[in-house]
Amino acid sequence: MQALILEQADGKTLAAVRQLDSSSLPAGEVIVDIGWSGINYKDALAITGKGKIVRQFPMIPGIDFAGKVHSSDDPRFHPGQSVVLTGWGVGENHWGGLAEQARVKADWLIPLPEGLDERQAMIIGTAGLTAMFCVMALEEGGITPESGDILVTAASGGVGSTAIALLHNLGYQVTAITGRDTTHDYLRQLGASAILPRSEFSQPSRPLEKQRWAAAIDAAGGQVLANVLAQTAWGGVVAACGLAGGVDLPTSVMPFILRNVRLQGVDSVMAPASRRVAAWKRLVNTLPASFYQQATTEVSLSQAVIAAEKLLNNQITGRTLVRIR
């Protein structure tokens, strides 16, 4: 089998596509023939060595994949069945999806959701699943289309792109934040009604500002998230799922105790299977058909390293899909 292998030499991460004997795959109940994977932000950090994502080498990156069961020791899965995997530390501490095969625990897999093919499932991928969890968090916090404008940060990334499409199709008014002028037309096609520059949210502000947003989905963190919280209206919900802008949160308790704002963390890595299945069903029913053409850059396995560099340099918009076979 072919696989993208990460190794470390002299403190540097080396990434190369190589032939590998499938007998060396780690333990698990199910072997999957992978058709499609993706390059997420976390994958890009791992492949380039610019983030401490991988701590044991050699490693095959790829935190998500879709494919067909090759063999299974678990009665829930059978050869030829299409399956999807996202999260669970795959691609970080267990060999992942940027390879022609993976052997994983059966509990980490879910059957391919009805209404999707494997390619579409990976266009959605971890980013899209996370976006759906964020939308669900807003709904569970009582946010409806009548509540007011919803803000989406890091809008041209995988999570932000999918969140805009989902919110728009559900009837919400969406404002997008992006640092790239070249993505404005793309964001409007997804459903953003207004677009603001990231620079407006990158500088320190007062703990409370004018109330502008009924809710927000944030994949940036750091100063951007602090400013979003300061501008969130009374009773609003902010779903935070990323830290591309930093792990610090330079804010105060004032938005929480004076405006009843809820900051809801969103994690898709360890989400239970029941919530994953519910989110996938919502994705199938909510994403418009046009999304699968609008939000995708497709590359081959041999191009994955270059794609990872481009993603970190903000040269790729939306979801990066990797064709394995």
Q: How many CA atoms lie within 13 A of 172 on its CB side?
A: 29
pLDDT(132) > 90:
yes
Which CATH number characterizes residue 58's domain?
3.90.180.10
Same-domain check for residues 15 and 67: yes
**Tokens representing residue 168 in the block:** 């728009």
Residue 279 included in any domain? no
Provide the number of structural domains found in the chain.
2
Residue 119 included in any domain? no
Same-domain check for residues 163 and 94: no
Same-domain check for residues 194 and 239: yes
Same-domain check for residues 18 and 139: no
Instruction: Name the band, by pLDDT with cuts 50, 70 and 90, for residue 325.
Output: confident
Give the tens place of pLDDT for each residue, 215-265: 999 999 999 999 999 999 999 999 999 887 888 999 999 999 999 999 999
Higher pLDDT, 23 or 143: 143
pLDDT value for 317 = 78
Residue 197, preceding peptide bond in cis (omega within 30° of 0): no
Residue 288 included in any domain? no
Find, among 157, 128, 126, the residue nearest to 64 by Cα: 126
How far is residue 278's CA from residue 323's CA, in Å, rounded to a whole number?
A: 26
Q: Per the confidence metrics, is the pTM higher than 0.85? A: yes
For residue 310, give every residue at least 6 positions away whose Cβ sits within 8 Å of its Cβ, in sequence order, or none. 316
Which CATH number characterizes residue 228's domain?
3.40.50.720
Find, among 88, 92, 77, the residue nearest to 33 by Cα: 77
Residue 275 included in any domain? no
pLDDT(7) > 80:
yes
Find, among 125, 57, 176, the residue nearest to 320 by Cα: 125
Across residues 110-132, what is the average pLDDT? Answer: 95
Same-domain check for residues 93 and 139: no
Same-domain check for residues 69 and 43: yes
Same-domain check for residues 211 and 237: yes
Across residues 202-223, what is the average pLDDT? Answer: 95
Same-domain check for residues 104 and 151: no
Same-domain check for residues 174 and 210: yes
Residue 282 included in any domain? no
Same-domain check for residues 149 and 234: yes
Give the tens place of pLDDT for each residue, 283-303: 999 999 999 888 788 999 999
Same-domain check for residues 186 and 228: yes
For residue 163, give every residue at least 6 positions away whose Cβ sits within 8 Å of its Cβ, in sequence order, or none. 131, 134, 135, 152, 155, 217
Same-domain check for residues 102 and 130: no
Domain of residue 103, residue span: 2-112+295-323
For residue 27, give every residue at least 6 positions away whose Cβ sits within 8 Å of its Cβ, in sequence order, or none. 103
Indicate the residue type of 260.
N
